């Protein structure tokens, strides 16, 4: 099967500091790919390269290519970025629902992309909230501010926003690090279900989490993607000594 | 006690006293205002005062109805709001979100300069430029109109509205913006659909404070509105405001006369309205902080 996302010879500099070094990566469609590695190794940076959110940071320079469905996203014009970011959605570490009602949070994407007219919107909101198991909890609170939800509900809502906009790729940067263990397991459960429809790339510090949810894992160290392969292989028989040291807890 | 403790003791008391003093001063001012103002109502009813259509303080017997003055103040203020609030909010968004850094700094400096112009000076400039301009453009007998006052007051309210709204916009958490951009919203959609909601309490507070400033302003209005104490029917006719009445007549009112007490009663009316405006503004500012 061909790759959904193909990263080739990707280098990134923040000013003079090189944060990504010759990264090659192929993410398969409708799989969960985990990126692990110690703090500061460039996981978030790599993730942000996939929807060009790094463009927003001053002094960033990038070489190499990122292809999504064969299209090199670094050749896209600025006016095409909304289309890219609609296709490739991002879930942030700290849940960041807008200071709007639950309904408007979910409806935000479809509205700005003119995907649904007024009548279709209700159905789309319901469908999206159902997809993240929030509908039963929130169906009577659609007009309440999303800022009053629990952290777990907020994170689910943020995922629902992407479901509503019909994203194809979900980038998740430590989506559970603000959540308690029970909520974490529930979000992982959700990710497993979403895998049927989405290609998911998740950055995590939690190696058990990577092992639990992902099919493929990449290990990063100081800006390099040291090793990439099937998750069971990475965790049971890593080829690189540095990967082995990391997953057995010898450093990092 | 050690010297340090003694020093702290005195500093603490001093701070306490300063705090109490400011409360006492406010209370004293209010008591004084109330005492002088309320004396009026021994001779004239509250309804006749607030609802009276004629203000002839030196006729015999004096007619002390302030309805024309209240309507004058409201009309001039409403005109100023209609101009300053939309313009101010738009400028705040431009400065906070659109302008390149150098232009932003230049604009902020301009706004500070504008807020530093004393209102008499602004009134004077208005008198020699705006008044003849309005007269000519509308072909009316005098350029001293409510609209002239509104325009001058809008200029005075703009710096307040712009700088406080801009603060509110800047303090909207960056994660909202990142979230919207990451969903593929354009810069404009992000502004219109997300940032403005985050900043709304602050923007409302800014507008209220701007309105408060306008409502209490005296000098500039007195110089450009013509000061005719008649019930206004349009923006293009002379009006007189509550503030201008006090300023213009306090010097000539005979101490202890009905006229004199009536001016204090106008003071109470002004005080109550301004207070209400400020409390509303505070309410919104605090609501913004809590979130
Ligand atoms: N905006 C920036 N400007 C300059 N340097 C940055 C910026 N963002 C990240 N860096 C640097 O790039 C490197 C990689 O950062 P990145 O946030 O991608 O790491 P990470 O693997 O996600 O770390 P963590 O696990 O702590 O989230 C770090 O050394 C960091 O200091
Ligand atoms: Mg990170």
Q: Classify residue B194 as exposed, middle or buried by CB count within 10 Å of its CB (0-12, 13-18, 19+).
A: buried
What CATH number does residue A196 fall under? 3.40.50.300
Provide ipTM, 2 decimals.
Answer: 0.89
Mean pLDDT for chain A overall:
90
Residues spanned by the domain of A142: 29-51+85-247
- Long-range contacts of the stretch A222-231 (C-beta < 8 A, 24+): A222/A21, A222/A41, A222/A42, A223/A18, A223/A19, A223/A20, A223/A21, A223/A23, A223/A41, A223/A42, A224/A21, A224/A22, A224/A23, A225/A23, A225/A24, A225/A25, A225/A46, A228/A25, A231/A34
pLDDT digits (tens, 9 = 90+) for A89-127: 999 999 999 999 999 999 999 999 988 888 889 999 999
Judging contacts by C-beta atoms under 8 Å, the chain B residues touching residue A100 are 193-194, 197
B189 in contact with A at a CB cutoff of 8 Å?
yes
Model confidence at A252, pLDDT cuts 50, 70, 90, reads very low
Q: Is residue A5 part of a domain?
A: no
Do A98 and B180 make contact, defined as CB atoms within 8 angstroms? yes
Cβ neighbours around A103 below 10 Å, total? 19
A175 touching B, CB under 8 A? no
Q: Does A13 reside within a domain?
A: no
Q: What pTM, to 2 d.p., does this model score?
A: 0.80
Report if residue A239 sits inside a domain: yes
Q: Is residue A136 part of a domain?
A: yes
Q: How far is the CA of B157 from the centre of ligand 2 (A)?
A: 45
A114 phi and psi angles, rounded to 5 deg: 50, 45
- Candidate CATH numbers 1.10.486.10, 1.10.3720.10, 1.20.1080.10, 3.30.470.20; the one for domain B46-290: 1.10.3720.10
Residue nearest to atom 17 of ligand 1 (CA): A44
The least confident of A43-57, A220-234, B273-287 is B273-287
Tell me the average pLDDT across A165-187.
90
Chain A residues near residue B183 by CB distance under 8 angstroms: 85-86, 89, 108-109, 112, 161-162, 165
Q: What is the pLDDT of residues B193-205, one digit of tens each?
A: 999 988 998 999 8
Domain count, chain A: 1
Q: How far apart are CA A80 and CA A72, in angstroms?
A: 12
Answer whether residue A180 is part of any domain.
Answer: yes
pLDDT digits (tens, 9 = 90+) for A217-246: 999 999 999 999 999 888 888 888 898 888
Are residues A85 and B179, on separate chains, in Cβ contact within 8 Å?
A: no
Domain chopping of chain B, boundaries: 3-42, 46-290
- Residue B254 is classified by DSSP as P
Express each pLDDT in B63-121 by its tens digit. 889 999 999 999 999 999 999 999 999 999 999 999 999 999 999 999 999 999 998 99
Nearest to A90 among B173, B176, B182 (CB): B182
């Amino acid at each position: 099967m061909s790759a959904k996302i193909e990263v080739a010879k990707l280098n990134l500099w923040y000013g003079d500091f090189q944060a990504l070094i010759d990264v090659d990566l192929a993410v398969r469609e409708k799989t969960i790919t985990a990126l692990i590695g110690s703090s500061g190794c460039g996981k978030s940076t790599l993730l942000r390269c996939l929807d060009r959110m790094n463009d927003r940071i001053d002094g960033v320079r990038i070489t190499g290519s990122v292809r999504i469905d064969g299209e090199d996203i670094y050749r896209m014009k600025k006016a095409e970025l909304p289309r890219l970011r609609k296709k490739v959605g991002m879930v942030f570490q700290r849940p960041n629902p807008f200071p709007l009602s639950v309904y408007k949070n979910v409806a935000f994407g479809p509205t700005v992309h003119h995907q649904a007219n007024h009548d279709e919107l209700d159905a789309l909101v319901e469908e999206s909230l159902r997809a993240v198991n929030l509908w039963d909890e929130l169906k009577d609170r659609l007009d309440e501010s999303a800022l009053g939800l629990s952290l777990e509900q907020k994170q689910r809502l943020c995922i629902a926003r992407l479901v509503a906009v019909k994203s194809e790729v979900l980038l998740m940067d430590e989506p559970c690090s603000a959540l308690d263990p029970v909520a974490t397991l529930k979000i992982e459960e959700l990710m497993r279900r979403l895998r049927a429809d989405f290609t998911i790339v998740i950055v995590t510090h939690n190696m058990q989490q990577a092992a639990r949810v992902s099919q493929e894992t990449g290990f990063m160290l100081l800006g390099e993607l040291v090793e990439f392969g099937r998750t069971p292989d990475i965790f049971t028989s890593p080829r690189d000594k540095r990967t082995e040291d990391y997953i057995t807890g010898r450093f990092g | 006690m050690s010297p340090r403790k003694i020093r702290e003791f005195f500093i603490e008391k001093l701070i306490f006293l300063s705090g109490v003093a400011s409360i006492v001063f406010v209370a004293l001012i209010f008591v004084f205002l109330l005492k002088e103002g309320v004396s009026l109502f021994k001779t004239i009813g509250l309804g006749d005062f607030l609802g009276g259509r004629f203000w002839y303080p030196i006729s015999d017997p004096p007619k002390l109805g302030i309805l024309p003055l209240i309507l004058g103040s409201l009309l001039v203020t409403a005109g100023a709001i209609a101009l300053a609030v939309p313009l101010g909010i738009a400028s705040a968004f431009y400065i906070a979100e659109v302008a390149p850094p150098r232009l932003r700094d230049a604009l902020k400096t301009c706004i500070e300069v504008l807020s530093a112009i004393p209102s008499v000076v602004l009134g004077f400039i208005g008198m020699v430029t705006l008044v003849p301009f309005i007269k000519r453009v509308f072909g009316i007998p005098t350029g001293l109109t409510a609209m002239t006052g509104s325009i001058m007051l809008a200029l005075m309210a703009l710096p307040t509205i712009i700088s406080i709204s801009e603060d509110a916009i800047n303090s909207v958490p960056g994660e909202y913006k990142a979230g919207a951009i990451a969903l593929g919203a354009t810069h404009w959609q992000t502004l219109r659909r997300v940032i403005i909601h985050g900043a709304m309490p602050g923007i409302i507070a800014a507008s209220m404070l701007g309105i408060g400033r306008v409502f209490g302003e005296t000098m500039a209005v007195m110089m450009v509105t013509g000061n005719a104490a008649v019930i206004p029917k349009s923006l293009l006719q002379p009006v007189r405001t509550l503030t201008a009445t006090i300023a213009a007549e306090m010097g000539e009112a005979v101490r202890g006369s009905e006229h004199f007490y009536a001016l204090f009663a106008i003071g109470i009316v002004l005080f109550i309205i301004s207070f209400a405006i400020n409390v509303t503004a505070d309410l919104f500012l605090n609501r913004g902080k809590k979130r």
